[in-house]
Structure 1
Amino acid sequence: MCLRKSLLAAGILLACLTVPAQAGRSCEERALTLETFRLAMASAEQTQQQLEQLGASVAIVGRVGQDLSKYGLRYTHVGVVFHGADGRWRVAELLNDCGSDRAELWYDGLGTFFLDDMFSFDSVLLLPPPELARQLLARLQDGPLLRTMFSARYSLTSYPFSTRYQNSNAWVLETLAAASSGNRLYTREQSQQWMQKNGYQPTELHLGTLTRLGGRMFKANIAFDDHPNELRYSGRIRTVTVDSIIQFFMARNEGWQVREIPAPLPKRY
């Protein structure tokens, strides 16, 4: 059985017979095919092997949940994968609650991380330098500390320098900012100030008026009212993406490493 454990309270979310709709989709459940299950487990195994070969205890792991190539983006969602005290690999991540304007933090198994309606099973690892890895692992093992950069108010397109909403990637980035400071940042405002001071550049998406209005009117998990007026009225939406996180930390020349992992080969029946 695959388990999803809340950082707020442990419990079983769904059995592995359906795919849970998270990270911006509705609560509609769909049958899980054997091939999808196989690819998810194979992706998890490849990721674990990479981590163990590199001697890593913690890393940022990204997946391809949908096709964003028209925006020049590849990976859509990140979590923090770590080796727990019980010897198991887990992923800490923020997930949207069934297309609503709410989110929660979860502990997932690696297999479950790759079961979330993937567009592609390609993945990526961003490995921090040793001291930052130690600071990050300390946060992951302290539930209350890990939640200091968390907001339950969700928007898929949350603005990186506002605390009104948060998306999954923004939570990871703000958590990394706190760890990069030696865990001396205690609020989202402080993390965002650190990001600005250190030159973080969000991804700018160019969205037409109908796209923005349609998102706000018909989807509870998309909002634009946290963006500066001069940007949103011109259709320039800036948000945290996996690509922008990777570019930011690799540019710091602190010893970060990137490992891209191609999708497992489909099985020939």
Structure 2
Amino acid sequence: MPAQGRAGTGCDAQTVSPDKLAAAAQTALTVAAALDERDAPLALVARVGTDLSKQGLVYSHVGFVVRDHPAGRWTAVHLLNECGSERSNLYTQGLVNFFSDQLVNQDARIVWLQPEQAQRLAERLRALPRNDLHQPRYNLIARPGSAEYQNSTAWVLEILGASLPSGGADSGRGGAYLAAKRDGFVPDRVHIPYSKRVLGGLFSANVAFADHSIGTRLSGDYPVVTVRSIVQYLDRRGHVVAQREWRNGRLMEPLGAL
């Protein structure tokens, strides 16, 4: 799998400043230390790559972090847009790279899953690209369950769905999403007014509005898979055993909003 990419942005040549690299390294060390404290083969780790505060959201991106992956002790496995194009790919990255991708800040959240599900997920992700459930046609607001498009959070949800006993290890994308839906997943609703579509804005790049129904486009309320909807679903259904979060470099107790 490639090692470079951007979460829905362009790939103009940019040098990471020493300060930003040091901040990413500190976050990586903090997250790795927390991961080492628990005897778990895998966790979900969320980051803030885009400011979604106007949509009431905090975290914009989430990936799996796998222990003892062929690429390293703690390796992030996630889907990223290919440099602002209509394509995506799956990436393996160390934690420093994961937290140095032009992020809004260094806030982070770890979500640990029940041991059986975490083990199934870790085994599947170590074996990629076999059964990768990847659709390379990228849409930032991909409709949940869409066969034509996928984005980063949709891929995570489908991998989670495939790890359920009812999902089946080789169920394909459609079966994986339906398994998560049957298990209680409910997508978020993101409002994108018509003026945003015409004039551009938060969702102006890599977007296929036609992936959604005419009724959705007229209302402007788009169902999407968000980090919030994934974590709330997992927590609600009892798949989560623990969470930990840092805001502005400080451990949050209790956890903040998603």
Match of 1:45 in 2: 29
Shift of the alpha carbon at 1:39?
0.5
Shift of the alpha carbon at 1:109?
0.6
Match of 2:144 in 1: 160
Deviates most, 133-142 or 25-34 = 25-34
Gaps of 5+ in 2: 251-258
**1:135 and 1:183 in contact (8 A); partners too:** no
Shift of the alpha carbon at 1:176?
0.7
Match of 2:51, as an amino acid? D
Shift of the alpha carbon at 1:262?
3.0
Which of 82, 86, 97 is the aligned partner of 1:101? 86
Aligned-residue Cα RMSD (Å) equals 2.0
TM-score by length of 1: 0.86
What do residues 39-85 of structure 1 show as CA deviations (whole Å, max 9, x unaligned)?
00000000001111122220011001121111110000011001125
SS of equivalent to 2:197: helix
Query: Cα–Cα, structure 1 residues 178 and 41, in superposed 2: closer, same or farther, change >3 Å?
Result: same
Shift of the alpha carbon at 1:200?
1.2
Query: Cα–Cα, structure 1 residues 42 and 60, in superposed 2: closer, same or farther, change >3 Å?
Result: same
Deviates most, 250-259 or 56-65 = 250-259
Match of 2:156 in 1: 172
How many pairs are equivalent? 247
Percent of pairs identical after alignment?
36
Partners in 1 of 2:40 and 2:19 — Cα distance?
29
Gaps of 5+ in 1: 7-11, 14-19
**1:215 and 1:222 in contact (8 A); partners too:** no
Query: Cα–Cα, structure 1 residues 178 and 225, in superposed 2: closer, same or farther, change >3 Å?
Result: same
Q: What does 1:190-205 align with in structure 2 at a 5 Å threshold?
A: 190-205=175-190
Which of 230, 243, 259 is the aligned partner of 2:215? 230
**2:135 and 2:150 in contact (8 A); partners too:** yes
Match of 2:255 in 1: none
Partners in 1 of 2:240 and 2:233 — Cα distance?
13
**2:184 and 2:237 in contact (8 A); partners too:** no
